[in-house]
A and B are shown apart, each in its own frame.
Chain A
């Protein structure tokens, strides 16, 4: 994908300014700054423990920053009502479906709990969203009965129900086989194109990042090292980035 989708323009812009966060003595985010345009697929790529997921949790308001700010559509998330004005959704690494509820109940939870639609309408929307991610007919199954890839897609369906302006994906292809990873990656790209929703994807999966991103940010030890299009990121000669991008398993030579 080369350019941000312009369909519908449902997405919002995101700006992260000088974000800092420490847990105890360990500084996890060291003044992170970047901005994401409305409708863009922005991939935050970096090795495990580089602060990617923590950053995502800040954007959706699950963690308060020590310093810095995050702006959604030019409004600080610390201002009241920002999350009501612009719906944000997050797809967690594990899917985070509620195990005691059926898949259908999980997907319709937002609408049911906020009483936004009558039950029949919720059932219709749930079936529609599940069908949109290729999971038609699994409404009555429990999350434990789904495979890893199906759980991730069910979590995407749940995120879509609130018609969000921004979807955050935390390692959407982790723990998936290569085929399922491709299906989930294609789903993210397709949703972005069809609805114009802004997507921020956190991943250490290089194939996913270069396959779906409009722009990529490389994060290492809590700092953004580089931001650019996939082609620009490939050209950067910074050793830390090249090491990450070109890391390969090599079998020890037998003597």
Chain B
């Protein structure tokens, strides 16, 4: 475990050092961005909408029952922006994109493609890791910002149509505006940026240390997703503490 942490920190440092090469590798970054967007946008929409819907469904009747109609929008908007959208999208991207990254790099490792790169004096961190970490760090905050908006829409839809809530969309968004500030959205987006770096690094690291054949790739993919999710939850707490008003 400690060896893994040490290797991750080292990979983070090497990726930072490789950042000046980002412009040179822009084509690869663009390809990764395209792949992440294509693979995730629909799922982000669905997940975002239903997270908003379920939060409205869970909290709305309770608040309405106690005469707190005007808090439904704020409650849903605040929890989605600061917590649910970044964490849930982080988990989604760890499963959808992080696993694919690990599988691809792991397969390159097993089939000696990474050794071939080394013999050509091409550093795997410059060629494989940095473009992926940059792409996911750009893509995830954008997806989270989008998921927040879709989540609010889902909450508003349920608040307006559910017979136990019956808060109009106008009232929902009015309350949301009163409670949720731009800083709350930025809080969520900053969190998602940190999660993206974690997912990218963990996924690439697990790929690079893959050993054995197809079974080794499978093990690495599982580790990548599990470790990413654990780190997302741990860092969620730490970042929340740091960014708390």
* Interface residues in chain A, defined as those with a beta carbon under 8 Å from any beta carbon in chain B: 57, 60-62, 83-84, 88-90, 92-94, 96-100, 109-110, 113-115, 158, 162
The verdict on B111 contacting chain A, using a C-beta distance below 8 Å, is: yes
List A contacts of B24 (CB < 8 A): 115
CB <8 Å contact, B113 and A62? no
The verdict on B10 contacting chain A, using a C-beta distance below 8 Å, is: no
**A96-B111, A98-B108, A113-B127 known; A90 vs B121 contact (CB < 8 Å):** no
Can you show 26 pairs from A to B with CB atoms below 8 A apart?
A60-B119, A62-B118, A89-B119, A89-B120, A90-B116, A92-B112, A92-B116, A93-B112, A94-B112, A96-B111, A96-B112, A96-B113, A96-B115, A97-B116, A98-B108, A98-B116, A98-B117, A99-B107, A99-B111, A99-B113, A100-B104, A109-B120, A109-B122, A113-B122, A114-B121, A115-B24
Question: B111, B115, B120: which has the most chain A beta carbons within 10 Å?
Answer: B120
Q: Which residue of A lies closest to B116 (CB)?
A: A96
8 Å CB contact of A110 from B108, B112, B115, B120: B120
List A contacts of B118 (CB < 8 A): 61-62
Within 8 A of A (CB), among B80-110: 104, 107-108
Type the 1/0 row for B173-188, where 1 means its CB is closer than 8 Å to any CB of A. 0000000000000000
Q: Which residue of A lies closest to B114 (CB)?
A: A96
CB <8 Å contact, B121 and A83? yes
Type the 1/0 row for B115-147, where 1 means its CB is closer than 8 Å to any CB of A. 111111110000100000000000000000000
List A contacts of B113 (CB < 8 A): 96-99
CB <8 Å contact, B115 and A62? yes
**A98-B108, A113-B127 known; A162 vs B115 contact (CB < 8 Å):** no
**A96-B113, A98-B108 known; A90 vs B119 contact (CB < 8 Å):** yes
Count class of interface residues, chain B: 10 to 19
List A contacts of B116 (CB < 8 A): 90, 92, 96-98, 158
Q: Which residue of B lies closest to A84 (CB)?
A: B121
List B contacts of A98 (CB < 8 A): 108, 113, 116-117
A-B contacts counted at CB < 8 A amount to 48
List B contacts of A96 (CB < 8 A): 111-113, 115-116
Expressed in whole angstroms, the Cα–Cα distance for A84 and B120 within the complex equals: 10
Expressed in whole angstroms, the Cα–Cα distance for A158 and B117 within the complex equals: 11
Shortest distance from the beta carbon of B20 to any chain A beta carbon, whole Å: 14
Expressed in whole angstroms, the Cα–Cα distance for A90 and B119 within the complex equals: 7
Expressed in whole angstroms, the Cα–Cα distance for A57 and B119 within the complex equals: 10
List B contacts of A94 (CB < 8 A): 111-112
Q: Which residue of A lies closest to B115 (CB)?
A: A62
Shortest distance from the beta carbon of B238 to any chain A beta carbon, whole Å: 36
Expressed in whole angstroms, the Cα–Cα distance for A99 and B107 within the complex equals: 10
Q: Which residue of A lies closest to B25 (CB)?
A: A113
For the A-B complex with A93-B112, A109-B120 known, give 5 more contacts whose Cβ atoms are closer than 8 Å: A96-B111, A97-B113, A98-B108, A99-B107, A110-B120
Question: B115, B117, B119: which has the most chain A beta carbons within 10 Å?
Answer: B119
Q: Which residue of B lies closest to A101 (CB)?
A: B113
Question: B24, B108, B115, B122: which has the most chain A beta carbons within 10 Å?
Answer: B115
Question: B104, B107, B122: which has the most chain A beta carbons within 10 Å?
Answer: B122
Expressed in whole angstroms, the Cα–Cα distance for A61 and B121 within the complex equals: 11
CB <8 Å contact, A113 and B111? no
Expressed in whole angstroms, the Cα–Cα distance for A60 and B119 within the complex equals: 7
Type the 1/0 row for B231-244, where 1 means its CB is closer than 8 Å to any CB of A. 00000000000000
List B contacts of A89 (CB < 8 A): 119-120
Shortest distance from the beta carbon of A73 to any chain B beta carbon, whole Å: 17
List B contacts of A162 (CB < 8 A): 120
Expressed in whole angstroms, the Cα–Cα distance for A60 and B107 within the complex equals: 22
Shortest distance from the beta carbon of A226 to any chain B beta carbon, whole Å: 29
Expressed in whole angstroms, the Cα–Cα distance for A100 and B127 within the complex equals: 13
Expressed in whole angstroms, the Cα–Cα distance for A2 and B193 within the complex equals: 63
List B contacts of A93 (CB < 8 A): 112
Expressed in whole angstroms, the Cα–Cα distance for A194 and B115 within the complex equals: 27
Q: Which residue of A lies closest to B123 (CB)?
A: A113
List A contacts of B115 (CB < 8 A): 57, 62, 90, 92, 96
List A contacts of B112 (CB < 8 A): 92-94, 96
Expressed in whole angstroms, the Cα–Cα distance for A83 and B108 within the complex equals: 23
